[in-house]
Copies of this chain bind each other. A is one copy, B any other.
Amino acid sequence: MAHPLILKLSRRDRLSAEEQRALEDAIVTIREVPADQDLVSEGDRPNASTLLLEGFAARYRTLGDGKRQITSLHVSGDFVDLHSLLMKPMDHSILALTPCRVAPVPHEALRKITETFPHLTRMLWLNTLIDAAIHREWLLSTGRRTPVAHIAHLLCETFTRLQQVEQVDGMSFEFPITQAELGDILGLSTVHANRSLQQLRSEGVVTWRGATVTILDWERLRDIAEFDPTYLNLTQEPR
């Protein structure tokens, strides 16, 4: 089974046949998780990391008064909690935004990879480094971008990430999040998320109907967002 992680990593550097096999062999079971259920919960000490095969998931943290911040979004091919191999316990939860198909990859298998496949280990490490780069970009968005630019950036980023795993259709893609969730990504209230989104739509750069987003004017969207995909490390290089 050629899973989307291989697709994703292969964009950054070539994986040998052995490396691909090691990744494939690491998957022994598949689990279906319904929407709105935690894939992993804060405080867990998982003994496997979760590879997302299908669906959308979000990592989030909640404050005492119930305010929630989504700290990252995940799509197929993402290793949503690869870090739990080395960091325990979980310091945040991961929520299935849609029904998800996931593969728990036992930490034993991952540890074995780190002992035997240095290059593949670096590629997995890189995977978590890209997560961190996305976090930094989100920090810039939350702290300094206007709400409209923040949404624009989120759409550019999501489009680009989905493109890598062949989940886009022309300039359209499925983006099944509610506006309440959008607010929790942006660090804004639902109402303000709604109004900012309307502004972006009214300028004719995007369309967002139901769960499908269409980018009508990529150049303009990119300019509004000041989107520069460097941080996603999409180039193939020796790593």
Residues of A within 8 A of B (CB): 59, 61, 63-64, 67-69, 71-72, 83, 86-89, 91-92, 114-115, 118, 121-122, 125-126, 128-133, 135-140, 142-145, 184, 186-187, 226, 228, 230-231, 233, 237, 239
Contact = CB atoms under 8 A, between A and B. Distances in A.
A45 to B, nearest CB: 10
Given A226-B63, A230-B89, A69 B128 contact: no
Contacts of A230: 89, 91
A121 B92 CA distance: 24
User: How many monomers of this chain does the complex have?
Assistant: 2
A67 B142 CA distance: 12
Interface of A is mostly: helix
Contacts of A139: 69, 71, 135, 138-139, 142, 187
A87 B233 contact: yes
A92 to B, nearest CB: 6
Given A83-B129, A83-B132, A126-B86, A140 B63 contact: yes
